A = this chain, B = another copy of it.
Amino acid sequence: MNFGPNALDRLVTLLSKLPGIGKKSAGRMAYHILDGDPGYARALAGELAGLHQAIRRCGLCGAFTETDPCPICSDPGRDHGIICVVERAQDLRVIEESREFHGVFHVLGGLIAPLEGIGPNDLSIGKLIARLRGAGPDQGVKELILALNPTVEGDTTALYLQKLLKDFPVEITRLASGLPVGGDLEYTDRLTLSRSLRGRVRM
């Protein structure tokens, strides 16, 4: 597809590399920006240009942060005895929004996926072990919550970690898997249903 002016074409090509954005949506976005206030385009440009300078990864947990260690790792009000292990930094936000968790995090940076060539060594597991050993400010970790996606890769990684860490005096738990709240039995897939049956809880 040719979007006419070269500058517009280049913008569309770049925008279409964003997740979930095809050539058509990218075109719509580009025209919207072009049609709109130049101040908006400049503001967006400024944020993008400065993004990687402004945000780094927390040396402790691996979350995106403007300060190192991140606000969560350096918060004495959080329970440093419970570490919630997530796949990606963005998963941290979802858990924070639930307001159910008051411990600290650890970002693995991926999941074990042999078909994609991602093994345990590609994940931030060494750092996690160091934290369990008490190398950092987290002393006496009692529980490790594996908040990994209920997928083949998530299950594989959870099992791997469980085996690897079995000699540490730490309880390893996983997020409950089952029917989503507001869900409908009729439209629930077989696997989710069988998991929610196996994991049924006494009322």
Q: Residues of A with Cβ closer than 8 Å to B?
A: 1-8, 10-11, 14-15, 17-21, 25, 27-29, 31-35, 38, 40-52, 54-55, 63-66, 88-90, 92-93, 96-97
Query: Which chain B residue lies CB-closest to A6?
Result: B66
A-B pairs with beta carbons under 8 Å apart, 22 shown: A2-B93, A4-B93, A5-B54, A5-B66, A6-B66, A7-B47, A7-B54, A10-B47, A14-B44, A14-B47, A18-B32, A19-B29, A31-B64, A31-B89, A33-B51, A34-B52, A34-B64, A38-B51, A38-B52, A44-B45, A45-B46, A45-B49
A88 to B90, CA, bound (A): 37
Do B14 and A43 have beta carbons less than 8 Å apart? yes
Q: Pick the residue among B35, B64, B96 that contacts A5 (CB under 8 A).
A: B64
Chain B residues with Cβ below 8 Å from A45 are 44-49
